[in-house]
Amino acid sequence: MPSFLVRLQEEVADSELRDFAAKFYEVFPDFCDQQLDMNLFTKKLQSLLPPGSGVSPQPIFAAREWGEQRTLVANRAIKAGTEVYCVPRRPEFTRESPDMHTLQVGLTEHLDFAAALPDAALTHHSCDPNGDLQIHEHGVIFVARRDIAAEEILSFDYATTEWDMDEKFPCACGATDCLGTVGGWKHLSEEQRVSRLARASPVVLERANAV
């Protein structure tokens, strides 16, 4: 059983819903292989909940207008360690070269977030992010690094997942060790790499070792 479902069962006090969560996985045995997406899961859960149960699961993230752009925020408080979304890693969503919507999952493999899970493509960069992306064979999972408040913008550090970004950009995230310009792991100083080592993706480390 996927960890988020285990957590749902642990956190929800209502025994009826707990049993229901167990049944959900029996009904959708391949759900997580298709798309381990908490919002999709919540929608399915809402549609399947018994009428009058009084339980209304809330989506975990939401897209919001942000100036002239859009961004992804926590729709409710999120505990550290929570898996917020998973972008499915399937051949039809992978590209050979990066663009502004891809995430590097292999030396020449880039997962198109905009195609695979469009909301995930709205996740911002921060040099002091509230999330990390974990690369797995079945997908890329956003995990909360710390407790996140409702309406807080979700972010990860692009420099820890990209070797050499297609579109480099100036950063004004306000972190004390803000990079100033984000261009990928290739462009970090030794000191900047050391401070990010624990959250660097295996792909950029492999690429760095290949230089």
The residue ranges that bind Zn ion (CB under 5 A) are 127, 171, 173, 178
One-letter amino acid for residue 156 of the chain: F
Strand 94-95 versus strand 102-106 pairing type = unpaired
Residue nearer to Zn ion on the CB measure, 73 or 171: 171
In the bound complex, what is the minimum distance in angstroms from residue 172's beta carbon to Zn ion? 7
Find the shortest distance in angstroms from Cβ 87 to Zn ion. Answer: 23
Quote the CA–CA distance of 137 and 65 in Å, as a whole number.
32
Closer of 74 and 171 to Zn ion (Cβ)? 171
First-to-last CA distance in the chain? 40
Residue 129 has φ and ψ, to the nearest 5°, of -75, 165
Long-range contacts formed by 179-185: CB under 8 A, 24+ apart:
179/127, 182/125, 182/127, 182/158, 183/159, 184/158, 184/159, 185/159, 185/160
**Closest to Zn ion by CB, 110 or 196:** 196
- Count of beta carbons in the 10 Å neighbourhood of residue 5: 17
Q: Is 27 or 175 the residue whose CB approaches Zn ion more closely?
A: 175
Task: Compare residues 63 and 178 and give the one whose CB is closer to Zn ion.
Answer: 178
C-beta of 39: minimal distance to Zn ion in Å? 27
